Amino acid sequence: MRRLFGSVRARATLGATVVVAVALVAAGAAVLLSLRSNLIGQAGTQAERTARSVATELAVGKAYDQLSLDEDDEPVQVVDEDGRLVAASKDLQRISGTGTDAVTPRPRPNATASGDDDGDGDDDGDNHGGDHRGDDDASTLEPGEIDENTTFAGGSATIDGHHADYRFAAVKVDVEGKGELTVHAGAPLSAEQGAVRTAQTALLIGFPLLLGVVAGVTWLVTRRALRPVEGIRSEMSAITASEDLARRVPVPDTHDEIARLARTTNETLAALEASVERQRRFVADASHELRSPVASLRTQLEVALAHPELLDLQGAVEDTVRLQDLAADLLLLARLDAGERPGRARFDLGALAREAAARRTGVTVDAQAVEVAGSRGQLERVLANLLDNARRHARSAVTVSVRRSDGAQGAQAVLTVADDGDGVPEGDRERIFERFVRLDDARSRDDGGAGLGLAIARDVALRHGGTLTVRDAPAGGALFELRLPMAASEGLEKPGAGRS
């Protein structure tokens, strides 16, 4: 069971079925309540019509035995103000819900069936007309007036051996010589009960069928909707098993979330494939670059071991230094690829440029005091790589400048390194920042390096929230431009804060 409901299809089907079931129960209850209320209201209207018809006959002076009490085979009672039953339906055998359960009329003593005195007016203390009411129980109705208000109640009655539930209506009427009478008339609730039972039966049969249809349709629709997801899953499983990152998951011919998921998955696979390819190429290039100085150093040491007088000490030192620099470059690239975050130290980029230029000949510096935040060691490495690259390609001069620039992206520190060499062809201006890339005129390892300096410089610039680009210098040659966010002033938000 747990495995079954671990499926999205099963959960979606169960959720839809539960929601529809709750909605159907609520709607069914509302329908039954509304139906019952309407039918009870209709029964009440019918009972009120009968009660007012009898009250009208009483108001015009009809005697009790002349009232129309048995025309509709419905229970009718007429009760006086003392609660005495004075008239009732002929076949009424039992009744409840009207305030009195009497079924046999008991007219007032010394009164004829017509309600008139039988002679001298002696009524044993029971007066007729308005005189029979006490002062504290005076009616608000005038003789012959029927009360506009109707009181309703539920009850039951047995008529001629047939028992049923009824809706009773009570209407008051003031009759000359008889005082205030109350007419109770009932209307059967059999139609309401039958309709409600029929509706309940229909709902009890229809609800499970409808829920089954909803569950089945949801199951089928969900299976159809999730079929592309299963295709993506199976393809990803096959890619994982085969380790073939060149494969792609199928993209459904739709414009929904699943199609976007498939496209995003393929983009992720493409990025992963490119990353793995770069890593593979990096390892291959690093192995190739390391092989040369290591082989050269080994050869020199083996020659020196056999012929000490032939030891090229200077060449061995140079190969060792080159091997050390290459190892340092590879280690720094590995740290950058691992996501190492730069420090947040604040320092003067202009001062750093002047210090780096002072250690090299033929470099002219024009540097303002511009404060940045980050790793001083990494940015010093960037500046050294740019200067070394410029000196390798310059004919006679290298120029370094540092200034502040205020623009749409906020305050930035701008460092430029320009040379008067041949420059960088426009088609190679992005390629030179790739790892182990050397242009044709710089293929010598002794003169051109391993092709990692500019790649390291750009990676460090990006890690500091900046950019590194190349364009033509004013005097010809190449101009490398490094832009970094300036360090924030005290109490002010730092431009580019939060970038890694």
- pLDDT tens for each residue of 248-284: 888 888 888 888 888 999 999 998 888 888 778 777 7
Q: Would you state the structure tokens that stand for residue 156, as one six-digit string?
A: 């039951």
Q: Using 50, 70 and 90 to split pLDDT, how confident is the model at 1?
A: low
**pTM, whole model, 2 decimals?**
0.49
pLDDT for the residue 399? 94
pLDDT at 70 over 80: no
pLDDT at 127 over 50: no
Tell me what the mean pLDDT of segment 323-351 comes to.
83
The full DSSP string for 372-428 is: EEE-HHHHHHHHHHHHHHHHHH-SS-EEEEEEEEEETTEEEEEEEEEESS----GGG
SS3 content of the chain, % helix, strand, coil (to 5): 50, 20, 30
Calpha distance 167→239 (Å, rounded)? 76
Tell me what the mean pLDDT of segment 299-325 comes to.
80
Q: What angle do CA 359, 365, 369 make, to 5 degrees?
A: 105
Query: pLDDT by residue (tens digit) across 188-213?
Result: 988 888 888 898 899 889 889 999 99
Tell me what the mean pLDDT of segment 147-174 comes to.
91
pLDDT at 496 over 70: no
Query: pLDDT by residue (tens digit) across 309-321?
Result: 777 778 778 778 8
pLDDT at 71 over 80: no
Of 470, 498, 497, give the one whose Cα is nearest residue 486: 497
pLDDT for the residue 119? 39
Query: pLDDT by residue (tens digit) across 360-371?
Result: 888 999 999 999
pLDDT for the residue 144? 83
Query: pLDDT by residue (tens digit) across 444-472?
Result: 444 546 678 898 899 999 999 999 999 99
pLDDT at 108 over 70: no
Q: Which residue has the higher pLDDT, 278 or 122?
A: 278
The full DSSP string for 269-331 is: HHHHHHHHHHHHHHHHHHHHHHHHHHHHHHHHHHHHHH-GGG--HHHHHHHHHHHHHHHHHHH
pLDDT for the residue 66? 84
- Residue indicated by tokens 């009490």: 69
Q: Which residue has the higher pLDDT, 124 or 290?
A: 290
pLDDT at 74 over 90: no
pLDDT for the residue 151? 92
Among 143-152, 171-180, 347-356, name the most confident range. 347-356
Tell me what the mean pLDDT of segment 415-424 comes to.
92
Calpha distance 229→223 (Å, rounded)? 10
Domains and CATH numbers, the chain: 1-115+127-234 (no CATH), 257-337 (1.10.287.130), 345-485 (3.30.565.10)
